[in-house]
Structure 1
Amino acid sequence: MRHHDLVVIGAGSGNAVIDESFAGLDVAVVEEKWFGGTCLNAGCIPSKMLAYAAHVAETVRGAGTYDVDAELRAVRWRELRDRVFGRLDADREEGRRGRVESGFVTVYEGRAHFTGPRQLRIGLPDGALDISAEQIVVAAGGRPLVPAPVAASGLPYETSDTVMRVDAPPRRLAVLGGGYIAAELAEVFAAAGSSVVIVEKEDRLLGPQDETVAERFTELVRSRYDLRLGREVTTVGGRPGALRLTLDDGSTVEADMLLIAAGRVPNSDRLNLEAAGIRTHDDGRIVVDAHQRTTADGVFALGDICTPVQLKHVANREAEVVSHNLRHPHDLASADHGNVPAAVFTRPQIASVGATEQDCRDRGVDYLAGTARYADVAYGWAMEDATGFCKVLAEPGTGRLLGAHLMGPQAPTLIQPLVLAMALGTDASTLARAPYWIHPALTEVVENALLDLGL
């Protein structure tokens, strides 16, 4: 049995664990699908590259708002797709090649599962290989959840893993799910010319967002998509290219293509974790402590397979923590998941950090809410924006920021001063009054929301 000092299962954020400080060790990386993980190959990066092109297309379509005569002739989907994935696939291969040629990292391209404490079996094209290690990092990520009626139908469907690489946008796209993945990909394909139907079991889209954001976004996109809210798919019929979804109220949806964006599940069920003594939560996530250690000695975990916040920047932070802790077992670091910012790259864009209003109510937390509209600042006038807003939540008396939520252009950038303030303990009044806020920049909407707290 080949023995290594360190084995990392998963070459997404797991790949970031290993740097030159490990060069004196015998290190191995096991990856069954693609280097760079979901983010590079089928997630954050390609979806945002496509979303930016969609935004450009919609800007041209709406140019008349700004007294500009312009006409959108086409979104050249195949050229767009090839540009995006031509770059990303090259980055993936460069990353893989860099590991192979590093001189201290052995790359195993196959699926691994535990056979005992710190022992693995890897399925390779030419058979199985058993290895062991002093330390193991599990960073095997997650995968799209496929609802039972869809899986049972035997009919074709797409997920976020596959849909961005299709040869052409469908004439009719049915999207099952109402979260951020569904919203972003619906935006991309609508801009490319698809007629979109969204089927979502909740009564509004983007349910985990602050209630005001979720309500207003849902109303804004009603004119763009056929929304079937509060509904679930019971059966999928028809034939490839001509699908028929039957919903729980008896209504039907006809579609050429079905996109499943109903959530994700961790890949823990594929690893035989019991053999290693690694416990999981009820939802399948691996149990880790504050230092990313699992319940098995010498085994760490990071990213979507264990984290409660399944975002790339969280996985990257956890990779930094694991990298440090592998080398410094007597000076352990930890990751703080208390106020993790997130963004949705739709039209309009959305960004959030911390508590929502419904969180505060559910927890019995006293709070103040301050709001400001894009339409009330000068740059909002320039943009002719009538829907964007910023909401900040703060603790009465102290002004401690509890949460912040933006919907509108540049939201993922505008929220960063609020993220910094929450991380550094700067109260709302100080943040509003101590720094200069550029006039007439769009950041004034953040300043005005802070002032609206009345602190």
Structure 2
Amino acid sequence: MKQYDAIIIGFGKGGKLLAAELANRNWKVAIIERSPQMYGGTCVNAGCIPTKTLIHESEQAERLYRDDYSNQAKYYALAVGRKNKLVSFLRDKNYEHIKAHPNITLYDGTASFASNDTVKVVSRDKKEILLKGKEVFINTGSTPILPDVEGINGSKHVFTSETLLRQSKLPHRLLILGAGAIGMELATMYAGFGSQVTLLESGGRFMPKSDRDIAESMLESLKRKGIEIRLNAYALSVYDTADGVTLTYTDNADGTPYFLEGDALLLATGRRPMTDELNLHAAGIRTDAQGAVIVNGHLQTSSPHIWAMGDVRGGALYDYLSIDDFRVIANQLFGNKKRNTDDRVPVPYVIFTDPPLAHIGLTEEEAVKRGYSLQVSRLPAAAIPRARTLQHIDGMMKAIVNAHTGRIIGCTLFCVDAPEVINLVSLAMKNDLHYSALRDFIFTHPSMSEGLNDLFKAF
């Protein structure tokens, strides 16, 4: 049995940052990763980086080869190659950074708990080794949820977001099951490359957690790209055909059966924490109904010397929260122990459609339900000079302010450059600034940021 000061299960974003921090403090660290193709975590290998790379490429393909599927398909294959090259480069950098440190030992294999301080590692050649650690950190991430639909497991034409992005052949007809963030992003991306996209959602309300004005604006934007949206679509079965795949579904509203044919079916029905193989009960670690590791505000599990970070602890599954998880844990180990996960609320999120949507805080509907006295402002993207110069005038900005205090309690930006501009609103909310701070701020011109001047001028 080998002894370490720390064992980190999973080579994700938070885990690699923590490994380097601990090793630099002369801790002996073991980091375990089940797949060499996942060095650096989901974001680098199968999530943020590859998807956003291809989303950018799809915008170029649409601009160059609109309505020319043959050339779009060729461009797509080249774009996938460029994406693969970038992912390999970043993966190798992550590996080299960890492998080069004398205080870090990297184990390739599957980890599971043997006790609350001992982890068993089974390598790819089935060899077993036991590691004992004073502190253990779970950073195993999340995995796509596979819906209970007959035929999906045996189909050659059914993909998750992770597996579809590896394909170099552009699907001419793409069916997407699930109209959440992943579904909308990839629908936009593949439509840009020239695919005929049908987006199916089991619920009867599109974007149910968003305000209706925002959801309707997004819906119209997707339709303008040629994306067909079908609501109340309850998937029943999938079977392969000579040309691709056929999906059978019923309309939840009236029970009418439908059949859809496609070259590929993408399952975009969410992600869940990856805890199935960890044998958590051996360490006395509790999980919730979704399998997420239950932690306190300092990210400690029910066994205080075992911690969880990133997607495996459930909640919002964002790479930037995994980075902040590292900060929380580092503060507990080496700082004043005051940092807490509650400190970062609210957290912004982005959906990389075209235009992208960014949101922070409460929606108008949520704020009304909580009894706030509100002031609401909306600004069309077309009213912002920078949107005109970029020729991206679709969308809008929306802000919600507490009428009594003047504090911003929610903001949605559905416009070009929204992923950047939302961080300014986040900074204002985090520092409890009056809305006039953004109304009167001197922004550069022309920029999408200066739209905040006019958005908050309405109050």
Q: Give CA-to-partner distance per residue, 1:243-280, whole Å, 9 cap, x none.
A: 11111230111011111111001012221111111111
Q: Give CA-to-partner distance per residue, 1:62-113, whole Å, 9 cap, x none.
A: 8xxxxxxx99953512221111111211221232233222111111111111
Q: 5+ residue gaps in structure 2?
A: 252-256
Q: 2:400 aligns with which of 376, 393, 401?
A: 393
- Asked if 2 retains the 8 angstrom alpha-carbon contact of 1:60 and 1:71, the reply is no
Partner of 1:262: 269
- Asked if 2 retains the 8 angstrom alpha-carbon contact of 1:204 and 1:218, the reply is no
Partner of 2:51: 47
Distance 1:123 1:445, change over 3 A: same
What is the deviation of 1:385? 4.6
Partner of 1:25: 27
Q: Give CA-to-partner distance per residue, 1:140-163, whole Å, 9 cap, x none.
A: 100000101156652132111111
Partner of 1:234: 236
Segment drifting more, 283-292 vs 39-48: 283-292
- Percent identity over the alignment is 28
Query: What is the rounded CA distance, in whole Å, between the counterparts of 1:97 and 1:282 in structure 2?
Result: 37
Task: Output the amino acid matched with 2:11.
Answer: A
What is the deviation of 1:334? 2.0
Q: 2:455 aligns with which of 438, 442, 449?
A: 449
Matches within 5 A, 1:174-193: 174-193=175-194
Query: What is the rounded CA distance, in whole Å, between the counterparts of 1:387 and 1:331 in structure 2?
Result: 45
What is the deviation of 1:386? 4.6
Task: Output the amino acid matched with 1:44.
Answer: C
Structure 1 residue ranges, 4+ long, deviating more than 4 angstroms after superposition:
70-73, 150-153, 383-386
SS for the counterpart of 1:232 is strand
Distance 1:240 1:423, change over 3 A: farther
Q: Give CA-to-partner distance per residue, 1:16-62, whole Å, 9 cap, x none.
A: 11225534221100111211111000100111111111122334468
Matches within 5 A, 1:317-396: 317-328=324-335, 331-335=337-341, 336-396=343-403
- Asked if 1 retains the 8 angstrom alpha-carbon contact of 2:23 and 2:101, the reply is no
- For these two proteins, the number of residue pairs brought into alignment is 445
Distance 1:42 1:104, change over 3 A: same
SS for the counterpart of 1:222 is helix
Task: Output the amino acid matched with 1:255.
Answer: G
- Asked if 2 retains the 8 angstrom alpha-carbon contact of 1:29 and 1:108, the reply is yes
Query: What is the rounded CA distance, in whole Å, between the counterparts of 2:290 and 2:86 in structure 1?
Result: 35
Distance 1:440 1:4, change over 3 A: closer
What is the deviation of 1:375? 1.8
Tell me the TM-score normalised to structure 1 length. 0.92
- Asked if 2 retains the 8 angstrom alpha-carbon contact of 1:210 and 1:405, the reply is no
Partner of 1:66: none
Q: Give CA-to-partner distance per residue, 1:97-133, whole Å, 9 cap, x none.
A: 3322211111111111112112211111232222221
- Asked if 2 retains the 8 angstrom alpha-carbon contact of 1:373 and 1:445, the reply is no
Task: Output the amino acid matched with 1:39.
Answer: C
- Asked if 2 retains the 8 angstrom alpha-carbon contact of 1:389 and 1:445, the reply is no
1:303 equivalent in alignment to 2:310: yes
Distance 1:76 1:215, change over 3 A: same
SS for the counterpart of 1:292 is coil
- Asked if 1 retains the 8 angstrom alpha-carbon contact of 2:217 and 2:395, the reply is no
SS for the counterpart of 1:162 is helix
- Asked if 2 retains the 8 angstrom alpha-carbon contact of 1:309 and 1:337, the reply is no
SS for the counterpart of 1:279 is coil
- Asked if 1 retains the 8 angstrom alpha-carbon contact of 2:373 and 2:404, the reply is no
SS for the counterpart of 1:313 is helix
Query: What is the rounded CA distance, in whole Å, between the counterparts of 1:307 and 1:2 in structure 2?
Result: 30
- Asked if 2 retains the 8 angstrom alpha-carbon contact of 1:240 and 1:256, the reply is no
Partner of 2:254: none
Q: 1:37 aligns with which of 33, 41, 45?
A: 41
Partner of 1:8: 8
1:143 equivalent in alignment to 2:115: no
Q: Give CA-to-partner distance per residue, 1:372-406, whole Å, 9 cap, x none.
A: 11222333343455532110011012111101101
Query: What is the rounded CA distance, in whole Å, between the counterparts of 1:402 and 1:61 in structure 2?
Result: 42
Query: What is the rounded CA distance, in whole Å, between the counterparts of 1:446 and 1:324 in structure 2?
Result: 34
SS for the counterpart of 1:76 is helix
Query: What is the rounded CA distance, in whole Å, between the counterparts of 1:331 and 1:380 in structure 2?
Result: 44
Task: Give the RMSD, CA atoms, in angstroms.
Answer: 2.3
Matches within 5 A, 1:139-178: 139-150=139-150, 154-156=154-156, 157-178=158-179
Partner of 1:77: 76
Distance 1:241 1:264, change over 3 A: farther
Query: What is the rounded CA distance, in whole Å, between the counterparts of 2:451 and 2:384 in structure 1?
Result: 6
Q: 1:253 aligns with which of 260, 268, 278?
A: 260
Segment drifting more, 374-383 vs 399-408: 374-383
Partner of 1:284: 291
Q: 5+ residue gaps in structure 1?
A: 63-69
Task: Output the amino acid matched with 2:141.
Answer: G
Task: Output the amino acid matched with 2:247.
Answer: L
Tell me the TM-score normalised to structure 2 length. 0.91
Task: Output the amino acid matched with 2:410.
Answer: G
1:57 equivalent in alignment to 2:53: no
